[in-house]
Copies of this chain bind each other. A is one copy, B any other.
Amino acid sequence: MYELWYWPSIPGRGEFVRLALEAGGIPYRDMAREAGEEGYKALSADMALPRETPPFAPPYLIADGVVIGQTSNILLFLGQKHGLAPSDESGRLWVNQLQLTIADIVAEAHDTHHPVSMSAYYEDQKIEAERRSRDFRNHRIPKYLGWFEHILAQRWSWLAGERWTYADLSLFQLIEGLSFAFPRRMARIARDVPKVMALRSAVWALAELKDYLSSERRAPFSDGIFRHYPELDGD
**Residues of A bordering B, CB below 8 Å:** 50, 52-56, 66, 68-70, 72-73, 76-77, 89-90, 93-94, 96-97, 100-101, 104, 107, 111, 115-120, 125, 128, 131-132, 135, 139-140, 144, 147, 150-151, 154
Query: Contact between B53 and A76 (Cβ–Cβ < 8 Å)?
Result: no
Q: Is the pair A135, B115 in contact by a Cβ cutoff of 8 Å?
A: no
21 A/B residue pairs, CB under 8 Å, sorted by A? A52-B154, A53-B94, A54-B147, A54-B150, A56-B104, A56-B144, A56-B147, A66-B90, A70-B97, A70-B100, A72-B72, A76-B96, A107-B107, A111-B111, A116-B131, A116-B135, A117-B132, A117-B135, A118-B135, A125-B131, A128-B131
Distance in angstroms between the alpha carbons of A144 and B56 in the assembled complex: 8
Known contacts A72-B100, A73-B100: A119-B93 contact under CB 8 Å: no
Residue numbers in B under 8 Å from A151 (CB-CB) = 54
**Across-interface contacts of A70 in B (CB, < 8 A):** 96-97, 100-101
Whole-angstrom distance between the Cβ of A21 and the nearest chain B Cβ: 17
Query: Which residues of B are found within 8 Å of A154, using beta-carbon distances?
Result: 50, 52
Determine how many copies of this chain the complex contains: 2
User: Within the assembled complex, what's the spacing in Å between the Cα atoms of A68 and B100?
Assistant: 12
* Contact A119 B139, CB 8 Å, known A93-B73, A97-B68: yes
A50 to chain B, nearest CB (A): 8
Closest to A100 in B: B70
